[in-house]
Amino acid sequence: MALLTAKTDEQLLEELLPEAERLINRHFGVQKEWFPHEFIPWTEAAKLDENGNCPESENVDEATRSALFVNLLTEDNLPYYYNDVNRMFGTSDTWQYWTRRWTAEEGRHSIVIRDYITVKGLIDPKELERARMAQVEGGETPHPAGVRDGFAYLAIQELATRISHHNTGKRLPDKEGQALMRRVAIDENLHYLFYRDLASAALEENPSATVEAIDRQITNFQMPGTGIKDFVKHSKKIAKAGIYNFAIHSENIVKPLVFGHWKIDKLTDLTDAAKAAQEHVIKFSEKISKIGQRLFPKSESEPALAESI
C-alpha cells in the first residue's frame, strides 16, 4: 500500500469539514442550555469579616479547596486557549463557529465555579483574584504544533478536566456544589467527545502523521494549569486525595484513548517514523500504568459519564 504524504493543516481542516459539521450537529443534539446562577446557593452567602476576608470554611477539606482553586484558575485562562484554538482552526465558517461556541461554553465554567466559591466562602476572594491576575498576565499554556497535535491535546485535556471537576464535586459536602461540578463535567465530556472523534477522523485520513502527533501529545502532556501559583503544592494535595493523579491519568485517560478509542496498537501500514511513534506511545502507556499503580494503588476509577453520544 502506498503511504500517504501528510496534508498541510489547511488541507486537513478542509478535508475534515464534513466531519466537523457532523460533530457540531451531534453536539447540539445533546447539549442543553443551562444557567450558572441557577446552581448557586445564594441564600447561604458567607459573610466577609470587617477586613473583607472570608471566614475559614470548615466543611471543605484542604485538598478539595486546592482542586477548586486549580480548576477555577485553569478555566480563567480561557483567553489563551481561545487564542490557540482560533489560530489552529483557521477562518472557515464551520471551524470558526465551533471555536466561538466552545469558547462561550467554557466561559460559563469560571462563572459558576467562582460564584460558588465566593458564596460559600471557600477561598479568600483576594487571594483568588491575585492568583487570577497572575495566571492571565502570565499567559502560560501549552501550544500544540499543528492541527493533528491540537486534536490529540484537546481530547486528553478535556477528558482530564472532566475527571478533575467530577471528582472535585464528589468531595463537596452540599448537593448544590456536587450538582454544579457535575454539570461542568458534562460540558467537558461533550468537548472531549468532539476532539477525540476529530483525532479519530485524522487517524483514518492519515494514520502515520496522526500517530506521530498522538505520541508527542500523550508522552509530553501537561495540564494547562502549570502556570498557576503554587501549582506543585496544590497538585500534590489533589493527587494524594485521589482527585487527579498519575494512576487516574494513566487508567482513565491514556489507556482508554490509546488502546480503547484510537486503537494505536492495531494500526498497520505505517511509515518507519510512525512505527517508531506507535511503539513509543505504547511503551509509554504501559510504563506509566505500572508507575501509577505503584504510586497510587487505591485510586478509584472514574464513574462513567455518558461516554458516547
**Closest CB to Fe ion among residues 171, 191:** 191
Amino acid residing at 308: S
The answer to whether 202 and 210 are in contact (CB under 8 A) is: yes
The answer to whether 26 and 98 are in contact (CB under 8 A) is: no
**Closest CB to Fe ion among residues 73, 274:** 73
Q: Which residues bind Fe ion (CB under 5 A)?
A: 75, 106, 109, 158, 188, 191
The CA distance from 80 to 76, in Å, is: 9
Residue 163 Cβ, how far from Fe ion at the closest point, in Å? 12
**Closest CB to Fe ion among residues 75, 251:** 75
Residue 29 Cβ, how far from Fe ion at the closest point, in Å? 18
The CA distance from 158 to 192, in Å, is: 5
Residue 161 Cβ, how far from Fe ion at the closest point, in Å? 6
Query: HSE-up of 265 (CA within 13 Å, CB side)?
Result: 13
The answer to whether 243 and 181 are in contact (CB under 8 A) is: no
**Closest CB to Fe ion among residues 72, 258:** 72
**Closest CB to Fe ion among residues 150, 207:** 150
**Closest CB to Fe ion among residues 155, 288:** 155
